[in-house]
Amino acid sequence: MTTASITRPLSRFVRSWRRSAPGPLWLAVPLMLIVAIPVADYFLPPGIHLGHLLIVAPAVTSVVAGPRLTALIGGLAVASLVLAGTERGVLTTESVLVEFGSLAALSALLVIFALLRDRLWLELRRVRSVSDATQRVVLRPLPDRAGPVSIASEYRSAEADTRIGGDLYAVARASDSTRLVIGDVRGKGLASISDTAIMLGAFRAAAHRQSPLPELVSYLEGAVRWGLAEFSESSGSEADVGERFVTAVVVDIPDDEPVVRVISCGHPPPLLLRDATATPLIVPTPALPLGLGGLSDDSYVQATFPFAYGDRLLLYTDGVSETRDEQGTFYPLAERAAAWTDEAPGPLVQRITADLKTFAAGPLNDDMAMIVVQRDEAPDSPSKPPSQQVAHRDRHHPDASADGVVHSIGDRGGPPHGPGRPHVHPTGTGNNRRQAPKTVE
């Protein structure tokens, strides 16, 4: 057991006591000592003297009060010692004079301690407020709704008293779609915030544009690689620039098509939740993590999966899927999520988070991020249960009919293109049809 593990709960207890305990309650303890000790001394035998216990009064006060009250209680304790010595006629004896000097000196030191502690707590409060504001700017809270989808999220940093670490997520609206990214920077905690800020800044700068998803991810690769190299050069750590990267999944959910387009850069696959099943959306041609794209000349290829009304999409980082129990078993995310597919995004995120804490052998030792996205019923569209057929237009797809419609989920004879069997556009842009601009929410 470390010193920090002992002092941190103690300091939290003291702070909570100071906030919750009413003034007369904690002030009664030192005042009772100041009154009781002279009275007890008067009745005790001459060989027993309790004056040295008066130091407890200013000591208790310095823990729960400020310097002014500590000085007041210390002064009352000194006066009580003088009264007790006068009552017994021993005020000028060597023993009482030593007690008097010790009590006065210790009371003065406790006043200085209370003054310095209050100053440090005020400074810590200011630093925390600045830190919280900065972290909220870097990792902005996700909206409850973006276009035709509802969103719920959860984020936990591995380091105490921090709101952001090595995991990241963000959402952006294009004119006719909602785009999300979830990622994991190499490393965790405060040491990875710089890389997190680079990745999120690049996504927010480009996601609202009308460029196809492969072009967006290509832009993210260039921006992340340049940003990581620049930061490493300015901080004097060029040696590890080749070891820094970001795994990510970037998804695009069009407003007028019941599909989701996915590009994976070395990240765990999202889960499609539907009818008590959790199906991993495994991209056939995943890319290297962002920041390492220079090692490969392959272009980014998106995979398209059905995403009907009422379906839910669970995006997560390895802080969720790689949490272990006491036996070292990984958290069965797909199995647990499949049992809660009828939950709305908010309750589903809360349920998985609570279950993850119960499953873990101890405190979560890695950053954790999770997003649940649900496609809601369009206001002017007829009701469609999630199990109905889904069709979208893509003239480049090999299964497209003469009118360019790709039929999925048992709509045609032959193998369906369900969540477990995605189709990939050879050009990477088959599903990005140009449309008239819509109002961006």
Report the pLDDT value the prediction gives residue 227, as an integer from 0 to 100.
78
Does residue 4 have a pLDDT over 90? no
Does residue 376 have a pLDDT over 60? yes
Q: 265-277: per-residue pLDDT in tens? A: 999 999 999 999 9
Does residue 321 have a pLDDT over 50? yes
Report the pLDDT value the prediction gives residue 270, as an integer from 0 to 100.
96
Q: What is the mean pLDDT of the chain?
A: 76
Average pLDDT over residues 164-180: 89
- N-to-C CA span, the chain: 51
Structure tokens, 17: 């006591």
Does residue 197 have a pLDDT over 50? yes
Does residue 191 have a pLDDT over 80? no
Q: 347-364: per-residue pLDDT in tens? A: 999 999 999 988 987 777
Q: 33-50: per-residue pLDDT in tens? A: 888 888 887 787 776 777
Does residue 21 have a pLDDT over 70? no
Report the pLDDT value the prediction gives residue 297, as an integer from 0 to 100.
66
Q: Which long-range contacts (CB under 8 A, 24 or more apart) does 4-12 make?
A: 8/160
The mean-pLDDT minimum among 109-113, 245-249, 253-257, 401-405 falls in: 401-405
Q: Which residue has the higher pLDDT, 90 or 314?
A: 314
> Percent of the chain, pLDDT > 90?
29
Report the pLDDT value the prediction gives residue 20, as an integer from 0 to 100.
45
Using the 8-state DSSP alphabet, how is residue 330 labeled? B
The mean-pLDDT minimum among 284-293, 305-314, 332-341 falls in: 284-293
Distance between CA atoms of 141 and 32, rounded to whole angstroms? 51
Average pLDDT over residues 243-265: 92
Q: Which residue has the higher pLDDT, 39 or 437?
A: 39
Backbone region of residue 161 per phi and psi (left: phi > 0; alpha: psi in -120 to 50; beta: other values): left
Kindly report the length of the chain.
441
Please classify residue 245 by burial: count the beta carbons closer than 10 Å to its beta carbon, then call 0-12 exposed, 13-18 middle and 19+ buried. Answer: buried
Distance between CA atoms of 4 and 159, rounded to whole angstroms? 14
